[in-house]
Structures are given as structure tokens and as C-alpha cells.
Structure 1
Amino acid sequence: MAFGVFIHRSDSIYEDSPAERYQFPSQYLARVEACVGDWIIYYEPRKALESRGYFALAKIQQVIRDPSAPSMYLAVIEPGSYLDFVNPVPFRDDGGLIERGLLNEEGKISGRAQSAVRPISLADFNRITKQGFPDDIATLPRVDASSAFPGMQESQSVFQHEQERNRVAYLTSRIIRDRVFRRNVLQAYDSRCAITSLKLINGGGRAEVEAAHIRPVEANGPDIVSNGIALSGTAHWMFDRGLISIADDREILLSRHVNDTAGVRAMINKTGHILPPARAVDQPHPHFLRWHRENCFKT
């Protein structure tokens, strides 16, 4: 098993869904197979519009042939493993290149930087993930790593590299994932409810809005911002119970089971559509919206 970096663009020509699958040609098969059962970091190249740099991590569950494109393969992402970074990490900072393994013997960037799939050292993996998650979120809870995230049942070791590997298990525990997801969604929506348009901040400076999953975690919904939406408590309650849903064009849909239609419509912002995040990559994905309409919404 090995860590890896997978290049992904939000405008990719490939049939990618970073939280679910990564499509790639056969030339990268051996490299991707080496990552099965281990973790990869997604990187968006600097040439991409509004590049996010290194922006997320995920665990590769298996590799299969793409049934819709026989010449291509799919790296299947382990459900529940994908996690957006709170702070996207740039290709380089004041200290130089973040991914040191891309430097050749002369200290220059090698041709490996152009590879869509490439191995990455544990040191580089840790350097990137530590920058991706701020200290106030990445504070490790006092729980056993094996129970925090099934599948990461490495034995405790006095060696530093084993301790660093266990750090991934802590970062992907449900407690930490909830904190990261909330911060990412609220940041994308500017702490404003997408349904009501209200932005309420309490006396302690905490936003009253909540981060809701469109497709719930219990139904294998990933912790990706495009599967999230910022909602006030009441709107969140109605959304989870299928009394409100969202069309692909972002129109807010009301169920026939709502017993106070006039009151709910008065609560909804005047546009009748959700107020989406500024960045296209953060906006609710039709794939998740469709799931909610088909599985939660009470027509």
C-alpha cells in the first residue's frame, strides 16, 4: 500500500466524482493499484480556474474497469472516507515546494509533477494534511484509532511513522469530520441559511446556521461541500423530514404534507430558490439533490 496524489479538475473531461470514483486510463493502473487500501490527496493544478491546490483526501477501496468505457478504469473511493481540506494547500509556499518528492537531484521540479497519478511520501502526505486542517479542528480526541475509523486498525508503535499514519484515523473520526464539514459548508455559504437568507450570529460569535448533508451520512452521503447546505434549525428539520427539497435549478420545493404552507413560504427567501455558494464547485450537486428528492422528499 502507498499514499498517492491524484490530479483532479472541477472542469475535468473525465467521469470523476471525487467523493465516489476517479476515472483514469490504463497507463496509471499500476500506480493506482498500489494505493488500494490506502489514502490519496486530490490536487487541482495551478492552470485550473480558481485552483484549490491540494484540496481533499480520500481512501481507495478498489480498482475496477469502467463499465461505460472499457479502455478506462475507476478507482472506487471508500464510502465515508472523502474529506475536503478546511484550508486548500498551495503548490508552494514561502518555504518552497510543499510536495518535496517532486524535486530532482538538482533541486528543480521534475517531470513527475505532470503525472495525473503519482506516489507521495509519508513526510509529504503529513506536511500537506497538517496544512489542510487547522490546529483548532485537528486537535486529536482521546479515542482509540481503530474504533475511530474502521479499517485503520494499525497497532500502536513507538516509531514516529506509525504514529503519523494513525493521525489519519483521528482526522477521519466522526467527531473531527463533523467539525470539518460544518466549517467548510458554513464558509461556502458565508454562514447564511440557503433557504431563508438569514445570517444570525450569537453573542459568542457562533453562527446559528447548521451544516446539513443533502444525502445523509447514514445513506453513504460523503462529507463534500457539494453534498452540503447551510440551513437554519427549522429549515434543517424540514429538509431532513422531506418537507422541503431542492430542484436541479435550485428552486425550493414544498411538500404537500406541509400543514402551514403560507407560513413556510413566508419563511423562504423572496427568490424562491436557494442562495448558492459563490464557487461553482461548492454548489449542491444535482446527483445529491436528486437522491434527496427520490428518497426523502414527501411528494
Structure 2
Amino acid sequence: MGFGVFIHRTDSIYDDSPAEQYQFPGQYLGRVKACVGDWIIYYEPRKVAATRGYFAVAKVAQVIPDPKAPGMYLALIERGSYLDFVNPIPFNGPDGVIERGVLNEEGRISGRAQAAVRPVSAADFNRILSIGLAEDESELPRSGEPVEAPSAVGFSDGGQAPFVFEQERDRVIQLSSRIVRDRLFRRLVLQAYDKRCAITGLKLINGGGRAEVDAAHIRPVEANGPDILSNGIALSGTAHWMFDRGLIGLSDDLEILISRQANDPDSIQGLLNKTGKAIVPNGISERPHPQFLRWHRESCFKQ
């Protein structure tokens, strides 16, 4: 087992769904197999317009031949392991390249940087995670919400941990903890939506500095919904309640739908923003994905 970097483009010609599978040709089979049972980082190349750089982490569960494409393979992502970074990371940082394993002995970028799949050292992996998951300003919890303080152990270059296995243990805890993942997902969604409810358009901040908006999963975690931004939406408390109970939904083109079973549709209509469509981020990769919206309409929305 070992860490890896998988290159993925939003406009990829491959049959990729980062939270579910990664398609690749046979030339990379050995490298991908080396990552089975361990974590990889997704990277979007610099040549892509508005590139996200290093943008997510996920765990590879298994590798299988692609049944639909001879000569191609699929790296299947472990369910529930995918996590978008709060902070996308550029290839080059203030101190040079973030992934130092792509440098040759002379300190120059080598051909390894062009490989669609490549191994990455534990030091580079932890360095990328320490930036990608850093929380400069933690979101204030609601009263009664569980809180787990973020730990830098295993995600930092600074200081020397006494044992390697302790670093590994803390890293896995960070990536697997539901409390930590919920906190990071909330921060990611609120950041993308500018703390504004997608349904009402309201942006309310209470006296304690907390945004009165929730980060909702469109397809819930309990129904195998991933912690990916395109499966998230910012909703005020009332809108969140209605969305979860199927009183409102969204079409693929983001039109707000009101259930025929709602007892007071006129009042619900009065809560909607004037456009009648969800207010979402500009980036395509940040908007609700049609597959998650479709799941909500078919499994939750009351027609």
C-alpha cells in the first residue's frame, strides 16, 4: 500500500466520478494497484482554466477491469472516504512546488509531474493535507452540537512525532471521523455559497458570528451520499427542514420545486428568492450535481 496522486480534470474524457471511481489505461495499473487500501489525492492540472490544483482526498478500495471499455481499468473509491479540501492547493506555493517528489536531483520539475498517476511520499501527502484541511477560522457550532478539536498531528511538517504509527493513526482519525468530516463539509459548503441560503437568498449572521445557514447533503450520508461539494447545498433552517422532508426539491436546471402535498404552498412560495431558482456557486464543479438532485426527487421529494 502507498499514497498516490491521481490527475483528474473537470472536463475529463475518462469515465471518472471522483467520489466513486477513477478510470485509467493499463499503463498505470501497477501504480494504481500500489494504492489499494490507502489514500490518494486528486489533482487538476495547471493548464485547466480555473484549476483547483490539489482538491480532494479519497481511499482506493479495489481495482477492476472496466467492463465497458476493453483495455481500461477502474479504481473504485471506498464508500464515504472522498473528501473535498476546504482549501484547493496550487501546484506551486510560496516556497516552491508543494509536491516535492516531482523534483529531480537538481531541484527542477521532472517528467514525473506529467504522470496521470504517480506515487507520493508520506511527507508530501501530509503536507498537502495540512494545507487542504486547514481551518483558519473554525465555524462556530450550534448549541449542543458535538465538537472535535482539529489536530495537526500527522498533517504538519513542523515538529517530530515520536512514532510513525502515531502519525498514521491520527491521520486516519482525521480522514475518517464523522464529526471532523461534518465540520469540514459545513465549512466547504458555506464558503462556496458565501453563507447564503440557496433557496431564500438570505444571508444572516447571528450575534456570535455564526451564519444561520446549514450545509445540507442533497443525498444524505446515511443513503451513501458523499462529502463532495456537488452533493451539498447551503440552506436556512426552515428550507433545510422542507428539503429533507420532500416539501421542496430542485430540477436539474435548479428550478425550485414545491410539492403538491405541501399544506401551504403559497407560504412556501413566499419564502423563495425572486428568481425561483437555487442560488448556487459559479463554478460547475461546485454546483449541485444532477445525479444527486435526481436521487432527491426520486427518493425524497413528494411529487
SS in 2 for 1:58: strand
Size of the alignment, in residue pairs? 283
Distance (whole Å) between structure 1 residues aligned to residue 164 and residue 245 of structure 2: 45
Residue 123 of structure 2 corresponds to: 123
Partner of 1:255: 259
RMSD: 1.4
Runs of 5+ consecutive residues of structure 1 not aligned to the other structure: 142-157
How far has the Cα of 1:216 moved from its partner?
A: 0.4
Partners of 2:10 and 2:253 in 1: how far apart?
19
Q: Note if 1:235 corresponds to 2:239.
A: yes
In the alignment, does 2:167 pair up with 1:167?
no
Amino acid aligned to 2:215? A
* Residue equivalent to 2:51: 51
Q: What is the CA–CA distance in structure 2 between the aligned matches of 1:135 and 1:216, rounded to whole Å?
A: 24
What TM-score, normalized by structure 1, do the two folds share? 0.92
Distance in 2 between residues matched to 1:167 and 1:32, nearest whole Å = 24
* Pairwise CA distance, 1:160: 3.3
CA distance in 2, matches of 1:130, 1:139: 15
In the other structure, the counterpart of 2:110 is 110
1:207 is aligned, of 175, 198, 211, to 211
1:190 aligns with 2:168: no
TM-score of the pair, normalised by structure 2:
0.90
Match of 2:289 in 1: 285
Secondary structure at 1:6's aligned position in 2? strand
User: 1:23-172 residue pairs with structure 2 within 5 A?
Assistant: 23-135=23-135, 139-140=149-150, 159-172=162-175
Asked whether the 8 Å contact 1:126–1:164 carries over to 2, the reply is no
SS in 2 for 1:221: coil
Superposed CA offset, 1:136-160 (max 9, x none)? 569447xxxxxxxxxxxxxxxx853
1:251–1:272 Cα contact (<8 Å) kept: yes
Q: Which moved more, 1:228-237 or 1:158-167?
A: 158-167
1:224 and 2:228 aligned: yes
| Runs ≥4 residues deviating over 3 A | 135-141
Q: Distance in 2 between matches of 1:198 and 1:68?
A: 45
Asked if the contact 1:5–1:118 (Cα under 8 Å) also holds between the matched residues in 2, the reply is yes
2:2 corresponds in structure 1 to 2
How far 1:88 sits from its partner (Å)? 1.0
8 Å Cα contact 1:215/1:292 also seen in 2: yes
Partner amino acid, structure 2, of 1:268? L
Range with bigger deviation, 97-106 or 214-223: 97-106
Aligned-partner Cα distance in 1 for 2:53–2:163: 27
Cα pair 1:189 1:230 within 8 Å, conserved: yes
Identity of aligned residues (%): 68
Structure 1 residue 168: Cα displacement: 2.4
Q: Residue 229 of structure 1 aligns to a residue in which SS?
A: strand
Matched residue SS, 1:234 = helix
Shift of 1:164: 2.1
Secondary structure in 2 aligned to 1:55? Answer: strand
Per-residue deviation, residues 10-32 of structure 1 (Å, max 9, x unmatched): 11111111111111111111111
* Structure 1 counterpart of 2:274: 270
Per-residue displacement from partner, 1:129-188 (whole Å, max 9, x unpaired)? 0011115569447xxxxxxxxxxxxxxxx8532222223222220011001100110111
Q: Does 1:296 align with 2:300?
A: yes
